[in-house]
Amino acid sequence: MNTLGNKLKVTIFGQSHAAAIGCVIDGLPAGFAPDMDRAAAFMARRAPGQNAWSTPRKESDTPEILSGLVEGRTCGAPVAMVIRNSDQRSRDYSGLKRTPRPSHADYTAVMKYGDDYDVRGGGQFSGRLTAPLCFAGALALQLLEQRGITVAAHISRIAGVTDAPPDFATAGREELEALLRKPFPVFSDEAGMQMRMAIEAARMDCDSVGGVIRCFAVGLPAGIGEPMFGGVENRLAAALFGIPAVRGVSFGAGFAAAGMRGSEHNDPFVMDGDRVSARTNHAGGVLGGITSGLPLVVNVAIKPTASIPRRQDTVDLQTKENTSLVIHGRHDPCIVPRAVPVVEAVTALTALDMMPE
């Protein structure tokens, strides 16, 4: 379904070629005055068409608040927001229901919804739906900030080029906030440069590349999360897989943990003044589903963009024969940079939802 969260519920609606997309945010505390300029700036980070390395399409995602705010402050009622779609041209997409694009949701959506599925521009599976998610996340980020919690992500890897991460155990607010000011959020600008070159190379080849985003939450108190199925990992993973193109979610050392020995992977506790800390943070800030007070570290694998301007094999669902197709339209060789704020948004919404009142 299209609703995220328990105490703080975000319901997303819209299709890329419907009249609008938007969201309803239920459960925000009353009396909160969101900084809408900051929210707009945050949303702009995921909008296409603003950087050399992303798609040239231009979205003007101006959120209109329908309810839930009185003179700029939340009143306890749900905050409803809509963004009008300017691009509702009825280019003929119907062929995609017959010859589904490889590695898109065309085929599975037709299997689920039948011929009524809105295939135009990806319909409800469009990456455009992450815009309202970012709006909700922008509000969550501001509320977390008020509690001293910073959420920020970097591009950990694109096309095999790896960024230099901070120390998981001691990652601090300052270095994370520096990320938020970067248009291409990496710690190593050298690595960032190589990543952008890899993206350009893929564009030249009419191809695409994927990557890994690593998101940190610093300042979370210890003791958040429930055991078993209510843990921080369960909740975050369930939320993050809601972002299109996510193929994997891991915490701390993640899949690399599988190759380590216990003596190497275990994080020895150590006092940091009066505070309990650990020498390493392979656990990524969660033990037994519950936060330890160390930085929360979550890794999100993003597959290479499925839309590439090449002829690809597929089938004709009507004639039941093999065929091929070419995807027209703009080519975005790497959505990883634009997915960074989406990962931050989803992480922030989930963290806020799990905080005690």
Q: Which of positions 310-329 make contact with its own copies (CB under 8 A)?
A: 310, 312-315, 317, 320-322
- Other beta carbons within 10 angstroms of residue 61's beta carbon come to 20
75 lies in the site for its own copies, by CB under 8 A: yes
- The 132-171 contact track toward its own copies, x by CB under 8 A, reads -------------------------xxxx-----------
Residue among 111, 164, 193, 326 that touches its own copies (CB under 8 A): 111
Nearest distance in Å: CB 350, its own copies: 11
In the three-class reduction of DSSP (H, G, I as helix; E, B as strand; rest coil), residue 297 is classed as strand
- Determine the interface stretch with its own copies among 47-55, 134-142, 146-154, 301-309 (rule: CB under 8 A): 301-309
**Contacting its own copies within 39-68 (CB under 8 A):** 64-68
Q: Is 293 left (phi over 0), alpha (psi -120 to 50) or beta?
A: left
227 binds its own copies (CB under 8 A): yes
Q: Which residues pair with 300 in a beta bridge?
A: 213, 249
One of 48, 54, 55, 124 touching its own copies (CB under 8 A): 124
**Options 20-28, 38-46, 135-143, 144-152: segment touching its own copies (CB under 8 A):** 20-28
How far is the CA of 277 from the CAs of 18, 123, 145, 220, in angstroms? 50, 46, 22, 13
Q: How remote is the C-alpha of 226 from its chain's centroid?
A: 23
Site string for its own copies, 182-221 (x = CB under 8 A): --------------------x--x-xxxxxx---------
Binder to its own copies among 89, 92, 114, 181 (CB under 8 A)?
114
49 Cβ contact partners less than 8 Å away, ≥ 6 residues apart: 55, 56, 57, 58, 59
Instruction: Check if the beta carbon of residue 14 is closer than 8 Å to that of residue 132.
Output: yes
CB of 342 to its own copies, least distance (A): 12
Q: Name which of 47 and 82 has its Cβ closer to its own copies.
A: 82
Element (H, E) at 70: strand 69-70
Nearer to its own copies, 197 or 317 (CB): 317
Alpha carbons 248 and 240: distance in angstroms, whole number = 9
What is the Cα–Cα distance from 231 to 289, expressed in whole angstroms? Answer: 4
